[in-house]
């Protein structure tokens, strides 16, 4: 759905996005993480044909972002929730969506269907005739998401969709994104919220002007450490240590107080044998856990390394 090759954007002497090569598959939710001024919003603006790249290529579906006619087609096939919602406060929720539907040349009957469906999904159909200026920030954000979807885009860009929202409004937005995910929408999500990215995204890219890494949240979490199994015992004895060391599946073993910390490539497969061997050696197991890094651990480590380069 999205293909970029060495995509670069400079503002004078400042390089905002540097040689970004990226692939986003159709039907996936792709998260873009990075600190302020990392280039996330600039990337979205280039992919939506709102600004031109300085160099490099971007392809959205079958269209090239550096082709003027293709840019018109791209703008029609994408939906964008920008950082600023950009609604008309003196118009009702319904009339805001109707206005933008007309801009996208959505037929009248289809506009009515889509407006009703979206506002009902977001829980604000009963307030459709109220002026947007009377709504809270969270409700305005919901309407802005509906606006981005009014023309049934093939690709949805969400730029910090829960920024500055209270927990209840944030949950509503996240739940709505999960509903879109079930319907196999392709979603490109810019966010600072690591928990949000972990819950919503199939894959995550970390950007610090340059792309630092890409992977599924679980893959990134495991990348900081080798997979480690921790066995909590009543007591760690020499016979237990000897029995565990004889297992081929165990690559490394450390005994820490009443715990064994083991490097294992396939704990789901090999843990049952590990437990059996320990019990046969007289070990009293209290419980078995896996040591995992969090997405936050990985993110902070990679961003620090990127800052040093």
CATH number of the domain that 244 lies in? Answer: 3.30.70.100
- Per-residue pLDDT band for 53 (boundaries 50, 70, 90) equals very high
Q: Per the domain annotation, does 306 fall within a domain?
A: no
**Tens digits of per-residue pLDDT, 274-307?**
999 999 999 999 999 987 777 888 888 888 888 7
Number of separate domains in the chain = 2
> Per-residue DSSP letters for 118-136?
HHHHTT-GGGTTSBGGGS-
The answer to pTM > 0.85 is: no
Lowest mean pLDDT among 42-46, 184-188, 224-228: 224-228
Q: Per the domain annotation, does 118 fall within a domain?
A: yes
Q: Per the domain annotation, does 102 fall within a domain?
A: yes
Q: Are residues 92 and 200 in the same domain?
A: yes
Q: Are residues 212 and 261 in the same domain?
A: no
Q: Per the domain annotation, does 297 fall within a domain?
A: no
Tell me the backbone φ, ψ of residue 182, rounded to 5 degrees. Answer: -60, -30
Structural domain boundaries, residue 257: 226-291
Instruction: Give the residue from 288, 273, 290, 279 showing the smallest Cα distance to 237.
Output: 279
Q: Helix 137-149 to helix 108-121 angle, to the nearest 10 degrees?
A: 140
Q: Are residues 240 and 123 in the same domain?
A: no
Q: Distance between alpha carbon 76 and the CA centroid of its chain, in Å?
A: 23
Instruction: Give the residue from 219, 186, 221 showing the smallest Cα distance to 29.
Output: 186
Q: Are 204 and 215 in contact (CB under 8 A)?
A: yes
Q: Are residues 136 and 183 in the same domain?
A: yes
Q: Are residues 38 and 73 in the same domain?
A: yes
Tell me the backbone φ, ψ of residue 63, rounded to 5 degrees. Answer: -110, 145
CATH number of the domain that 13 lies in? Answer: 3.40.50.300
- Report the pLDDT value the prediction gives residue 274, as an integer from 0 to 100: 94
Q: Per the domain annotation, does 299 fall within a domain?
A: no
Q: Are residues 194 and 260 in the same domain?
A: no
């Amino acid at each position: 759905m999205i293909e970029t090759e060495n995509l670069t954007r400079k503002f004078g002497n400042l390089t905002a996005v540097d040689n970004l090569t990226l692939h986003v598959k159709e039907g996936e939710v792709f998260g873009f993480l990075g600190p302020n001024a990392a280039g996330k919003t600039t990337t979205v603006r280039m992919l939506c044909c709102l600004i031109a790249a300085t160099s490099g290529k971007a392809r959205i579906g079958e269209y090239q972002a550096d082709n003027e006619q293709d840019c018109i087609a791209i703008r029609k096939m994408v939906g964008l929730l920008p950082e600023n919602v950009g609604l008309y406060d003196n118009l009702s929720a319904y009339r805001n969506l109707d206005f933008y539907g007309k801009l996208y040349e959505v037929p009248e009957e289809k506009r009515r269907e889509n407006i009703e469906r979206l506002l009902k999904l977001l829980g604000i159909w009963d307030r459709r005739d109220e002026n947007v200026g009377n709504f809270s920030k969270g409700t305005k954000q919901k309407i802005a998401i509906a606006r981005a979807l009014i023309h049934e885009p093939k690709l949805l860009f969400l730029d910090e969709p829960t920024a500055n929202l209270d927990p209840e409004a944030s949950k509503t937005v996240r739940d709505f994104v999960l509903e879109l995910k079930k319907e196999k929408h392709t979603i490109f999500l810019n966010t600072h919220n690591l928990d949000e990215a972990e819950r919503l995204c199939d894959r995550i890219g970390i950007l610090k002007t340059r792309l630092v890494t890409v992977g599924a949240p679980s893959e990134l979490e495991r990348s900081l450490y080798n997979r480690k199994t921790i066995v909590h015992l009543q007591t760690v004895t020499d016979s237990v240590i000897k029995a565990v060391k004889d297992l081929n599946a165990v690559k490394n073993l450390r005994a820490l107080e009443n715990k064994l910390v083991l490097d294992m490539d396939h704990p789901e497969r090999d843990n049952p044998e590990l437990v059996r061997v320990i019990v046969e050696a007289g070990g009293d197991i209290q419980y078995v856990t896996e040591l995992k890094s969090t997405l936050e651990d990985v993110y902070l480590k990679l961003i620090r390394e990127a800052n040093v380069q």
